[in-house]
Structure formats: C-alpha cells, structure tokens
Structure 1
Amino acid sequence: MTDTTQTQIIAALDIGTTKVCALVGRRDVHGRLEILGTGKVESEGVMRGVVSNIEKTVRAISEARAQAEQSCGMSFDVVHVGIAGQHIKSLQHRGMLVRDNAQSEISQRDIDRLISDMHKLVLPPGDKILHVIPQEYTVDSEQGIVDPIGMSGGRLEANFHIITGQITASNNISRCVERAGLEMAGVTLEPIASSASVLYEDEKQAGVALVDIGGGTTDITIFQDGIIRHTAVIPFGGNVFTKDIKSGCTVMEHHAEKLKVNYGSALASEVFENRLIVIPGLRGRDPKEISEKNLALIIQARAEEILDHVMWEIRRAGFEGQQLIGGIVLTGGGALLKDLDKLTALHTGMTARIGTPIEHLAHGYQERLTSPIYATGVGLLLQGFADLDAGKIFPSIAKKKAEEEAAAQAAAEAAEQARTQEQAKEQEAVGAGSTWFESAFKKTKEWFEAEPDSDF
C-alpha cells in the first residue's frame, strides 16, 4: 500500500472463541463506512475469549487475513484488534487536579493530565489498564459537567470508569498478531467496539444495556447520558447452549450445534408440541428422534440463566431496569437464536431488540454484513477511524516516516560531503596553478634584475 492509501484504509481483527474475523474498510465521501473485504474462519485456539493455543490462533489469523486480502484485492499489515475474556474487570475512581492559574481556560492538556494520573493506579499483580473513560467532571464546586474545556477554575475533578485486563492475555494476543506478520495499531475492548457499531446515539442518552453474546463469553456494556457507565464479562456464551443440547439430547457435539442453529428456539411456548427432528444415529444404529419442544426447553433454561446474570450486573451498576429507557440490545452470534429478543423482554420486563451493525455502513453493503456476528469487527473499524481523526499515527506509518526522514537526511549529508570534497579539489587545483606561475615569474624577474656580467 502507498502511504496515502494506508491512512485511508483500515483493517480490523476480531479474535473470538468461535471465529476469527478480518475486515478491511474505508470511508466514502459522506463519511460512511465502506467494507472492502472480509475474511472469516473457525477459531480453535481461543477459549472464553482468551488465547489458549498460540499456533492454532496464528494459523486462523493468517487464513482470515488471506481471505480479506483476496476479497479486497490489496494487502495490509496494520490491524486494530479487539480484546475480551473473563479476565476483564472494571472499577470506578475519582481524580483531582489543582491548576496553577484559576483564571486560565481548562484545556485538553488538563484532561490528559488527569487521565495519565489514572494510569498510575496500583492494580492487582498481573493486571494492566486498557481504557480510562471519563464520566463527568467537577470544576471547583460545579458538578455534573460533561465537557469542561473552555471553563475557568482552580480545581478540576472527574469520575473515571477504568477497564483492566490481564497482562498475559494481552501479550498472548500481541504475540499471535505479530507472528501472523501483522502490526497492532491499537487494542479495544470488544464490547466497546460492538456498542459503536450497533447502538444509536439516542439509546446511549436514554440508557441502554448492550448484551454481546459471543461463543465463549457474554459481554455487557451499560450506557447512560451518552457515557459508558459499566462493563462486565460473563464467562459463558453460545457454546454452553450446544453443550446443554449435547448432554440433554444425548447427541454428538456437531449434531447439537446444527440443532441449535437450524431448529433452536429460546421460547418453548412458541414451539409446537408434536414436532420431531430426526438426526442420523451412530454408525449401524437407528436414527434418533428429538422433540423440538424439549430442545427449546433446554435452550430457554440456559438463556434465562444468562439473562439473570445480565440483570444482576445492571443492578450492581446502580441501575434498575426501568432506569434504562433504551432497554436491552442483543448482539453477537448468540443473538441469532430464534425468539431470544422475545424471551429477553418477557424475562427482564425491559424492551429488547437485536442489534445489527448497519447504522454506519455505506449503501451497497453485502447482506451478510448485517449479521450481529460482524458487530465487533465493524466497531473496531470505526474505532480505527476515530483514532485516525484524533491524530494517532499507526506504527508502520510512523516507522516508514522515520525511515524516509533518516534516508533523506543521509542523502543530504552525502551530497553535502561530496560538494565539500569537490570544492576542496578545485581549490587545490587553483592553488597548484598559482604556485607554479608565481615561481616562474619570480625566476624571470630575478634573471632580468641580475647585474650585467663585467666581462661584457
């Protein structure tokens, strides 16, 4: 890629429990996101959102990258990566900054100093800060300020929502990406990326809980007044439905997955009593009949358990169900389960909808991109463009610029050295010529000025 193209085209990598997905996108003239290429392969080296096998994960990343490069017709070497997993934790903290001049305006520099102070927090061993998200500010004694830039005051305080994760989990993701021949432009918490792609601004203002049901984890993000108020990860997702069907219906795992995807429903009351599904038996055995009603009952029991965890997290964050006017938005591969939105509304008493990542896509997108499966990938692309707008330079671009500047400086120094040597040679040549002339002139002068011989 050329330097100009690199700054316009961004790649994202969603490393999940069930799939590894690579997306390549750019912005059109209207600022909408245009997906140029996609690559999606099965993931075998990730368990509950955390890398458990480096080799298998590297292979999956390489395959997803190859598919994406083939479908968009260009190569890329810098990616925005998502991070998730049960090791993700969040905490609230308050920071304070005493300013030197109370009359001067509060600037972005003051806010950056407050945020950098948060990075000095003492965390449990092995943890690192992933995101520091300002909630609201207090200037002197004025509370509830969303944007203090431009105001005057001597004391600036802020509440922060801080998201932490394990250093080892983050390092394993970095290692996998680097071994696949890619460079990381940044790491974003996956539920934050998903919220960027599927939530509407008015929902974030009104109060909404985004529930991203992945293969191994269920991620929860709560917004109110347009700000992230709470994040949490529940350590089970869509894979537990498959395991329950496998043990409840005594079938093979690949059959259980097909039953879930093709015939599964999260609401047993919506399923007919007498409908049977026939699946092949083991070699030499009779086919097996499974009641669709029983299948739905198994799925519903586990779905209700996940929703109970979601409601517990909402209450833990200090929100009762009625405070979140936007209700619950379901996304991720698990949201494809039939009637899950209906069950969510019945079980929680809150409104529910399925979130699809089409809000920011340009016209003419492929239909498969409307699936909740791509919510995180599209969100990572949006985060990449947000970083670009904020003036963050991607590693390879910074490296390329540094190399170009060093090469230009070296060339300039070499040219200057050559010029100096040339001038020295010219002066030497001129000096040599003038010396010979002076010597000849001196001898001639001496000959003419010599006294005449007395014999003549």
Structure 2
Amino acid sequence: MEEIVLGIDIGTTKICALVGEVRNREMRIIGLGMQPSAGMRKGMIVDVPSASVALAAALEAAEQTSGYQLSQALISVAGEHISSTNNRGLVAINRNEDGVTPQDIDRALETAQAIAIPSNRQIVHLIPRHYTIDDHAGVRQPLGMHGYRLEIEAHIVTAATSAIQNLTHCAETVGIKAEEMVLNALASGEAVLEPAEREMGVLIADIGGGTTDLALYKQGTVWHTKVIPIGGYHITNDIAIGLRAPYEVAEKVKIQYGDCRPAEIDPDFVFMVEPFGGEKIQVGRQDLAQVIEARVEEIFHLILKDIQQSGYDEYLPAGIVLTGGTALLRGITSVAERVLNVPARVATPKNLVGLVDSLHSPAYATSVGLLRWAGSEHHRYQTHAQPAGLWGRRMGSFIRTLLPG
C-alpha cells in the first residue's frame, strides 16, 4: 500500500512544497513546487496574504507534477519565538505480564509535559530522550520491560501560539490542513544525519535566509534545540550596505564571488558591480570575503555561546553538520572548525529517488526531511490525497477570495 505525503518548507527566502510517495518503505519524490517567499521575516509570517499567494503557487506546481490534489501537510516552523527545555515524567507501571505498554509510555509523556507554559505559547514537539525503569537508567526502548516505576526524560519544544496560528491560517487559506509543525533543524536532521553521528554527538545547523536553526543529537536522539535569528539575509544585507547596491545585486555578488576565507583570496582579483546610481564600480574579491567572514564568524560565535550555555559543548565528537542555503558559501566549514574547534561538513539530502535533480543541495534538507519525518518514529500518518483534476482550481478559487466584490 502506498502513502502520499506532502511537506511544505515555508522559509524566509523560498517556499518548497514536496510530494512523496512511500511504497515498500521507500520514499520517492513525485511532486515538486518552489517559489520565492513573500510576507516572511526571520522565519515568521508578517504578511499572511502575500505569504499565501506564494504558498499557493508552490503548492499548485507540486500538485501538478505529482498528479494529486492534497489536503494536509507537514509544515516547517522557525523563528526566534522557538524555545526548548527538558523535563521528567514518572508513572507507576501497570502490573501485567506484558511489562511496559504503549499506554504506560503515553502516561509518562503526559506527566513530562505538565510544565508551566504561558498562555501565549504551545508545545510543538515532545521527544523522549531516554527512560529509567526502577533503578535501570539509560533505557532506549522500554516496551515489554518489567518493573514498578517508569521515568521518562523528554525534550520539549514550544512556540508562540500566534506564530503557529499564522502558519496554520496561511495553509488553510490555500486549502491545506497543517497536520504537524516540524522544527526546521529536526526536519533537516532526518534528511542528512548518519545514525553514527546521532549516537556519538552531533550538532546540525540549518543556516537559512532569516534564521540559523540548531539541533543537538546525542545517544541517538535530540538533546537540545535553538533558533538564532541571523542567517544568509544578514550576510547579503552587509554586502548591500558595503557596496551601496540593491539587495538583489548583493545577493548575486554573494553567490558568484562570495567566500569566507579572505586570506586565501588573490588580492588582485577584482570584479565590477553596478551600485545605486548606475555607475559601475570595481570591487576586490578579498574585500568582499572580509565582509562575509565577519558575519559568518558572528553566526558561529552565537552557536558556540548557545552550546556552552546549554552545557553540551563537550558532547560533539561528530562535530557540526551544516545545511540550509547559506551552507553553500565557499569556505564556510573552515570558519566553523576554527570557531567551534570541532569537525564540520556541509550535508545534502541523501538516498533520494524520483524528481530529485534540483534537491541535491543543502538548501533543500528541511524540505526532504519533512517527508522523512512523516515516516519516522516521531510521526506516522497518511496524507489525504486524491487524483488532481483541473489545474489552477486551487489557485483560481484562492485568488477569487482576494478580489473585491
């Protein structure tokens, strides 16, 4: 039996909608839609109508290529409003010959999530870290084990209710129910991390346009998460200010000539840029690299500060794995290794099948990871899908809601 899964990554710079078909436990990408973002800032929606128009276009393309009209999705979530904590829950094990049951685990999770959460926040993820049965600590899978007390330690991710409502409303505007919100870094981890890395201790940093999303894995599961409100947009903005050029020009310059290693750039290498005013100017590539290096160093110093404050800075023998569009910057791993003093690698989604030519990039780790999340132990569901009929039906009805009269 096949399952059809829709994942939507609503980022600061782009919206990517992916449709996956799960058959015999293999995920095949059968639908793909990409669109520049609108109405977004630092990972959060600031203009629902504009964001909805962009989302509708990406969704329409994904439905058209897949041949399905979809009604629910896993949707990425980011933004500075994200926070996390760890908490314990303890319950008595029901005495029966089956040992620990799924109901026992559910009850333990319920007690773990009984923390004081402000009324304007809600839980997005409740992820078991490990279990203790009586005095037997470090249990990975308690099902069927015997004992008297089951204790669970869980990682709890919360978000601003208003931000989640805006995402939900944006999706509903184009006819999509948000089945689950998934933190960017956790989705990216599903797409790129190796089991051995998760076991030893690794940090994934998804450096997108508006935010840098972190997830630290240890002993096979998530121990810590954080969203830092700085990303590739800020690097491009620094270049735009330095060159006195439009943002679009600065972005092209960053992609074509950008590098994080000014010491390795030929000081005689120059290129021409057209700033505001129209008169072309000459720019040294080494000067550009110094601007980029300064902002990239800041990002990694903020990452270092976060993992030091969390107390997990000694937990990263597998180093840091970089995803997100900004991970494409030349030399970014050398800055990461210098600042964090751990191994660094740039990762792209692996083991892809289907419409994957454009997805072999760190920029699409979150998008692919959303589909993988649907088949992970964290979440299992089947998307309601039906063969699509008239293309443009969703876009047409949506546009009509925006028109007067």
Q: TM > 0.5 between the two?
A: yes
2:331 & 2:23 partners in 1: Cα distance?
Answer: 36
Residue 190 (structure 2) aligned to one of 175, 196, 202: 196
- C-alpha separation in 1, matches of 2:118 and 2:71: 34
1:307 to 282, 294, 300: 300
2:321 to 321, 324, 329: 329
- The answer to which structure, 1 or 2, has the higher relative contact order (CA under 8 A, 6+ apart) is 2
Amino acid across the alignment from 1:236: I
Q: Which letter maps to 1:361?
A: L
1:344 to 336, 340, 354: 336
Distance in structure 2 (CA, Å) of the matches to 1:124 and 1:313: 23
The two structures have a TM-score, normalised by structure 2, of: 0.90
Corresponding residue to 2:367 among 358, 364, 377: 377
Alignment of 1:226 onto 2:220: yes
User: Which runs of 5 or more residues in structure 2 are unaligned?
Assistant: 387-405
Q: Secondary structure, in 3 states, of the residue corresponding to 2:165?
A: helix
Q: Which moved more, 1:377-386 or 1:50-59?
A: 377-386
Runs of 4+ in 1 over 6 A off after TM superposition: none
Alpha-carbon distance in 2 for matches of 1:304, 1:281: 26
Q: Verify the 8 A CA contact 2:374 2:380 in the aligned structure 1.
A: no
- What does residue 361 of structure 1 align with? 352
How many residues are paired up? 386
Partner Cα distance (2:62, 2:201) in 1: 36
Give the Å deviation of 1:104. Answer: 5.7
Q: Which amino acid aligns with 2:369?
A: G
Provide closer, same or farther for how the CA distance between residues 112 and 239 of structure 1 changes in structure 2, counting only shifts above 3 A.
same
Find the counterpart in structure 1 of residue 395 from structure 2.
none
The one-letter code matched in structure 2 to 1:288 is: I
Asked if residue 280 in structure 1 is aligned to residue 270 in structure 2, the reply is: no
Distance 2:74 2:265 in 1: 42
Larger displacement relative to structure 2 (65-74 or 130-139): 65-74
Equivalent in 17, 29, 34 of residue 12 of structure 2: 17
**Percentage of identical aligned residues:** 34
Please say which of residues 17-26 and 143-152 is displaced more in the overlay: 143-152
Instruction: Kindly state the Cα deviation for residue 117 of structure 1 after the two structures are TM-superposed.
Output: 2.5
- Alpha-carbon offset, residue 116 of structure 1: 2.0
From 54, 67, 71, the equivalent of 1:73 is: 67
Q: Which of the two has greater helix per residue?
A: 1
Task: Quickly say closer, same or farther: Cα 1:349–1:174, change in 2 above 3 A.
Answer: same
Q: Which secondary structure state, in structure 1, belongs to the residue aligned with residue 70 of structure 2?
A: coil
Question: Any conservation in 2 of the 1:229–1:317 contact (CA below 8 Å)?
Answer: no
Which structure has greater strand proportion?
2
User: Which position in structure 2 is the counterpart of 1:430?
Assistant: none
Task: Name the SS of the counterpart of 2:197 in structure 1.
Answer: helix
Question: What is the correspondence of 1:114-193 to structure 2 with a 5 Å cutoff?
Answer: 114-193=108-187
Relative to 1, partners in 2 of residues 1:303 and 1:390: Cα closer, same or farther, differing over 3 Å? closer
In structure 2, give the amino acid aligned to 1:334.
Answer: T
> Contact between 2:4 and 2:382, CA under 8 Å: does it hold in 1?
no
Structure 2 distance, partners of 1:249, 1:393, is: 50
Match of 1:208 in 2: 202
User: 1:249 Cα shift?
Assistant: 2.3
Amino acid at match of 1:10: V
Counterpart secondary structure, 1:361: coil
Structure-2 separation of matches of 1:49 and 1:189: 11
SS in structure 2 of the partner of residue 133 of structure 1: strand
Q: Could you say what the CA RMSD is over the residues aligned between the two structures, in angstroms?
A: 2.0
C-alpha distance in 2 between matches for 1:26 and 1:140:
42
Q: What SS class does the counterpart of residue 104 from structure 2 fall into?
A: helix
Larger radius of gyration: 1
